[in-house]
Structure 1
């Protein structure tokens, strides 16, 4: 998937799939509005018949994101690219104060009614597009880069790939994430980054938003820009979670209501307690059905032993089942 900018007045999003020999299986192109720029995108995995592309867009050449876009791939007819600015979602702005979020939403509604582009932008990156029988779950994370940090997520210092060269061994923002691996499968961009918020947008089979959820990270600091949260989409219910040191914060849906819960790691040995946990190496990912798994490094203290033998450092993996 690439952006064709050879004609500035007729920008296009080009999509191709290939077989194992490199022969083209499917090819499609979608027109992009002149005053908008596609920043990044992810494709679905054809669990259903529909192939969806979802990602982020901005106004002009801004380095910050204005909203998300979705488009269904159909080489036999023209498919419009649907753009949604962040102010149109119920919970995307939950990491801001109530007053500021309300102001942004009001201005977004006014701009939409007047046919204008939204003013609000932020640093956001698409993380995962999950496909279910009833639709899709699209996870986006909001972050604040450091002063010396490239604002283009995962592109290093080369800028977004649609504007030219990007490193072969870096992260391709148009990659398709088939699964969540417990190892770093891309090269994260380094810098002192604040991860601010996880936004989960539920889409129908046509890629249209139906509802959304938001989970504030409480300014979780990371040394690299990489996936911080994850979600499970099981039997029509949603759980959105992130891990910070010893605790896992989970937002669960129950019909039209949501519930926020905090889980803590408990050592198997009853005489041991968690003394500390590595801040830079603890993660959470979806596993299967209604289950997450988390992993990291902890320092345990055994109260039944002497001071010289009381502490040990361990690598752990926890299974987290959401009921």
Structure 2
């Protein structure tokens, strides 16, 4: 079970404040976070709510942060709720923030039950040449009902929208990880990331490519590593049988090169892995949709607990207000 990628691209789209582009991107979501239903520039303030419930089948229950996989499958109940707020206290100043709660409750393996509380705040200013901003994210994870991990990330970023077609973003990120019962894994993580979006079809289609590079220094040297993640996503909105549809395809590839000796293998550890996913959302009404997702990952490592494959399939009903 992997912590959601809440500190990467899923907030990026919220920083696109130009009226012409936003008016065409009303219902897009990215990385599980829904866009606001109105252009930021069109209103002084905006609040959006979203709730969803569903089920997920996981072929190999795992906790990436603990290098633990069970080789057991199970079905989980999914519950999610979030609120996002945004506003423009000045013509070129944009403020946003929000709270989200996600949970997975397994039928047979309670030790993998995960609940995550997330908070974020973002501020950016639109200069004539580019937009500059800062954000802070906090996530508190509970595993099997007990505190598991507190994660803070602060980012400084710049972005640029070119001809309402290409959107570029670069960020410097700093993370702090605090584990409730595993102090050796407490760590500082610093890195940078870059994303490029290209929009087609009057904003109904986009392609995203990105890269993230990070260096983590943990309390115990065996957990120190340098890592790189490459990702790509394609998203397309269309109408079929009178219903609005959104289809997304995603891919990511990650490497982690550890600098300390892992005692279990008496060597420096090296991990790599790739994952592909497909997400299909169909609107049943203007506010209610059904979403299905399938993801398959293959992860390789000279450390046995981190060498595994995993397939997850989920279906959920989602409502937006």
TM-score range (shorter-chain normalised) is: under 0.3
Larger Rg: 1
Give the TM-score normalised by the residue count of structure 2.
Answer: 0.27
